[in-house]
């Protein structure tokens, strides 16, 4: 599965073109694009062993795998969630957030990027479980399980994993770009309009959504294979392999964008 090739995927805007509008402000968009891309590539190499980022992805995997279990209640209790405390989708997501917070602390002081992964996990689960369970008839543990089960198929997990990493990549690239662009922002600086920065960040969001497409098919196959091999008990080190793969793929996307 690691050798699946999708070719160069079309994008609304290339990485360098995202920064072209900065030329209106007398800034070299290409130079800023290259600087941000290089900084991001270095950062993503360092993050491949970040236990906090992997924990967030692993919890996402475990939530999806729990829905495949014949005993959903027991499966989520093994995660640390009491069934009575997960009576609605919102409460379930809150319980998952608590578990992630505790897990991050056990693995050392979380990096700012681990916190971004934590926010991305909450965002994805809120959309897939909290919102979905409210749209179903009633709102109880059965509805929560149904919402979890909906994201546990090969196809749906592929989409959910892509959404998680797209959100994480976007938060990370916006953070890195903001640091690189900060010298140009201010009332007496070339970029004095927050609206312009918002347009820039919207383009980065779109770039990350489109770039993360390369992970989708692999994620579905990876989840299906490991769920079967482990009887829906995928270990943390297996998730670490996927996390490192995802970070490497986005790094390669940025590297390719500079050519």
Q: Residue 17: pLDDT band by 50, 70, 90 thresholds?
A: confident
Is 163 contained in some domain? Answer: yes
pLDDT for the residue numbered 5: 37
Q: Give per-residue pLDDT as tens, 66-83.
A: 988 888 888 889 888 887
Is 51 contained in some domain? Answer: yes
Is 2 contained in some domain? Answer: no
Kindly report the pTM of this predicted structure: 0.86
pLDDT for the residue numbered 165: 97
Is 78 contained in some domain? Answer: yes
Higher-confidence residue of 234 and 23: namely 234
pLDDT for the residue numbered 89: 83
- What is the SS3 assignment for 237? helix
Q: Give per-residue pLDDT as tens, 189-246.
A: 555 566 777 777 888 999 999 999 999 999 999 999 999 999 989 999 999 999 999 9
Average pLDDT over residues 141-149: 85
Is 179 contained in some domain? Answer: yes
Domain that holds residue 112: 15-257
Whether 8 shows a pLDDT value over 80: the answer reads no
pLDDT for the residue numbered 135: 53
Q: Give per-residue pLDDT as tens, 153-199.
A: 999 999 999 999 999 999 999 998 887 666 666 555 555 566 777 77
Whether 23 shows a pLDDT value over 60: the answer reads no
Q: Give per-residue pLDDT as tens, 27-56.
A: 555 677 888 888 899 999 999 999 999 999
* Chain CA centroid to CA 243, Å: 10
Whether 111 shows a pLDDT value over 70: the answer reads yes
pLDDT for the residue numbered 180: 67
Higher-confidence residue of 25 and 221: namely 221
Whether 146 shows a pLDDT value over 80: the answer reads yes
Instruction: Count up the domains in the chain and report the number.
Output: 1
Is 8 contained in some domain? Answer: no
Average pLDDT over residues 123-133: 82
Q: Residue 113: pLDDT band by 50, 70, 90 thresholds?
A: very high
Is 44 contained in some domain? Answer: yes
pLDDT for the residue numbered 15: 79
Whether 137 shows a pLDDT value over 50: the answer reads no
Is 3 contained in some domain? Answer: no
């Amino acid at each position: 599965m690691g050798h699946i090739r999708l070719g160069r995927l079309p994008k609304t805007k290339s990485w360098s073109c995202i920064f072209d509008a900065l030329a209106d402000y007398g800034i070299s968009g290409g130079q800023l694009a290259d600087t941000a891309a290089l900084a991001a590539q270095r950062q993503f190499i360092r993050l491949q062993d970040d236990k906090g980022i992997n924990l967030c992805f692993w919890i996402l995997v475990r939530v999806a795998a729990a829905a495949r279990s014949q005993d959903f209640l027991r499966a989520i209790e093994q995660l640390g969630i009491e069934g009575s405390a997960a009576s609605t989708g919102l409460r379930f997501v809150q319980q998952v957030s608590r578990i992630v917070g505790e897990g991050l602390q056990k693995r050392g002081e979380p990096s700012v990027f681990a916190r971004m992964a934590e926010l991305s996990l909450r965002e994805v689960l809120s959309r897939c479980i909290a919102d979905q369970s409210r749209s179903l008839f009633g709102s109880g543990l059965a509805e929560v399980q149904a919402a979890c089960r909906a994201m546990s198929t090969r196809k749906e997990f592929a989409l959910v994993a892509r959404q998680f990493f797209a959100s994480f990549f976007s938060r990370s690239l916006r953070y890195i770009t903001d640091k690189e662009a900060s010298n140009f922002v201010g009332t007496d600086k070339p970029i004095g309009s927050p609206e312009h920065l918002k347009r820039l960040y919207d383009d980065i969001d779109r770039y990350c959504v489109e770039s993360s497409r390369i992970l989708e098919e692999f994620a579905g196959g990876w989840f299906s294979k490991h769920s079967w091999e482990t009887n829906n008990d995928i270990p943390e080190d297996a998730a670490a392999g996927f996390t490192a793969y995802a970070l490497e793929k986005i790094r390669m996307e940025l590297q390719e964008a500079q050519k």
